Structure 1
Amino acid sequence: MLALCGLMAGFAARAAQPPLNANDWNFVLVPAFERGADNNLTPAGLNHSLRFGQLLTSLTAGKLGQLKQVYALTLSADGADMTPLESIQPYALLNYQPVKVVRLNAGGPSDYNSPAYFVQQLQATQPRGIYVMAMPEPLRTTVAKALTGTAPPADGRSYLVASGQAGALKLSAYPDQIAKVSAYPDIALPPRSACPQTPVTIKAKPPATLRPYTSQTALLVRHVEAHPGGSFENGNYVCQGQWRALGANRILLDKIGRKPDYVYTSDPGNIIDCGAACSYIRPSLTVAPFAIQYRLPLTLAPFQWEDAADLAMALFDRDSPYFKRPAAGSAILVGWEHAHIEKAVKYLFGVVYQDPKAAARIPAWSYEDYDTVWELSTDRDGALTFRNSCEGISTAALPSTCPAFPQ
């Protein structure tokens, strides 16, 4: 114990802030913050991530030109672990950065896609600069040792910086000094507004060949605000979206009518992403705060986010190989991309329920509409009902700057 304390004291005694020199390699190794019993952060971990995002933003201010990539790293054996992504996304959001989700395999330096192999390849193929990486322990220890030859003590409230020239990186630890806050960060939203879509109710009876999930309710929401202008795309959402993602949970809970059994969303590690440096993270991170507040795991779809037919069948066809659950009585919150929600619902009515006339009545979901909520429900016989409503939160009323949290 004395040796451990001495080692930590040696790390902490170094500079109060990392130098992050322009001509050096700078690897900022962030711990995945407090994890709950499932695959998400706890409310305390979410608070930690929000405040750490502000801290790291201040440390990299004026140096974003040196920032080459933000990573969320997990081991493939625990690939559904959302905590690295949830821990570092607030920093990426504040700085308009993408996050690349990478799943590594166990193994040594010569093993393909191992932690050591990953950092070797990065240094061999990428330019020097700042690389921010969030990951769980003991993966962070493994990466630190691969970079520097030094294994730091595990400490979930310090970030590590490995910096220097190739082959001579030195490791330093910096306590973040962020106080623990256990309450969910419930933020106030603007007054409720009218819904963008005209309300409509559409019904269809199940065909004899279908084995539907019965007495089920699925609430489908689009990812929160993104695309601040033009063709901007980084896979993340923007500050207006953070207000909605953090603040709309009670509205969604009221619409479902009870705590749902599942929060279902696209996998941010999908092979269909938005570029070599960009994972499509915003649908899952839209519903992650709800899952965190109500202590639910995120169930990640085992198919790609563009597979609208698979989404439709996973939700309502018991013969789908995906998302197995009890045949009746489930309540599900679904976070997805809006165009593929629309395609999935039209496929559900037109193909699964074999009612093309009902499918033709499904409204279009506007590119500018982040407020709409679609509800799909079945009765005890599997008859399907579609209803549309909204959260009642106008995008124009949401602040363009992210919410601030006291350090």
Structure 2
Amino acid sequence: MPIAREMTPRSSAIRRLLLAALLMAAEPGMAQDRAQVAQQYRTWLEQTVWPRASAKGVSRSTFEAAFDGVKLNWDLPDLVPPGSKPATPKRQRQAEFGLPGRYFSRGAIDGATSVGRDMARRHAATLAAVEKRTGVPGRIILAVWGRESGYGRVDIPHDAFEVLGTKGFMSTRAGYFTDELIAALVIAEAGHVSARSMKSSWAGALGQPQFMPSSFLGYAADGDGDGRADIWGSEADTIASIGTYLARHGWDAGRDWGFEVVVPPSVSCTLEGPDQGRPIRDWESMGIARVSGRPFPEAERGAEGFLLMPAGRNGPAFVVTPNFYVLKDYNMSDLYALFVGHVGDRIQYGMGDFAGRWGEVGGLYRSDVAEMQRALEAQGHDVGGVDGLPGFKTRRSIGRWQEASGRPATCFPEARMKDSLRP
């Protein structure tokens, strides 16, 4: 979905226990029972949400239909009930900050590829038309669609107004979700889908491309010529909407997304990042070569490329183009963008697995990574924020710390670093 990912929800029972612990840990007398919170929620809807929705042209009947029978969903993650303090969950192991290789599981890769090839045949005319109009390759659109909703086959079970209302009222990103709630009301008012039929993911993302409501309003497109943008039921509209989103975020039709490469020991992993780009021919002159043994395309050699090492020295390496970062605009995860590019190549070109192998790294608690980030910040490194996620700034900061302390640079957080990297 075109937003930054949040923690993947665990089982309902575990979430309820965590929330109960959070409420009990609040300052004495501050935590309130659920009935009181529910009443505050209704007041918030009337006093905060309704005036904003009305100002956007939402009718009272649409507003009331949206929240008819809707209650707070206490099973959602990252909730901060009134009177409580935000928790710092310890056990957060989803793929983006766990074992990177798990993101590329055999089932996920093979399933997205095989169904994607079927969809390429079924929707060849639509894909060709959208590619001609937007410049975004059909294989990339298919890979995004496959990752987001399994080509429309994944169940999207949640009531969008329950999710967005709950998270707008009491989540760690309440302002963001309140804005998305207003956008969802605008969608319902316009008649794209009825309020009671608007289903979403646990994070509020809608339809087959998993657009947040504001993204629907900005990028949903009509791909079948019926005058509507139906990302719930129309596969052609889904294809057109994904292509439109990527095109408007800057997809360069003249370039690929990236190339798997071999990075020799003489090239430091600390050179990674979208702010350290250089012409691909310069990377080539440093000894970086494609794993296939083929030269970089001549049209790419004079254009800017960026080193990407999502597991540091413990996994595959890539030289990527600005299009890779357009994919990250859809979902702010290096692994997500890499998955999409890789599956797209498999769909169209029949490519195999990455030549580089994912090492047994990761598996750390997010809080462990955050502790390392605080220690690196204290030493003057720019880690990109203390969020427990090993993004490129954290990875190369680890590498710089390793090099400065006489260690071989691996550019990825490891358990053995915990004792040496404490705030």
So what's the TM-score if we normalise by structure 2?
0.27
Which of 1 and 2 has higher RCO (CA within 8 Å, sep 6+)? Answer: 1
Higher normalized strand content (fraction of residues): 1
So what's the TM-score if we normalise by structure 1?
0.28
Higher normalized helix content (fraction of residues): 2
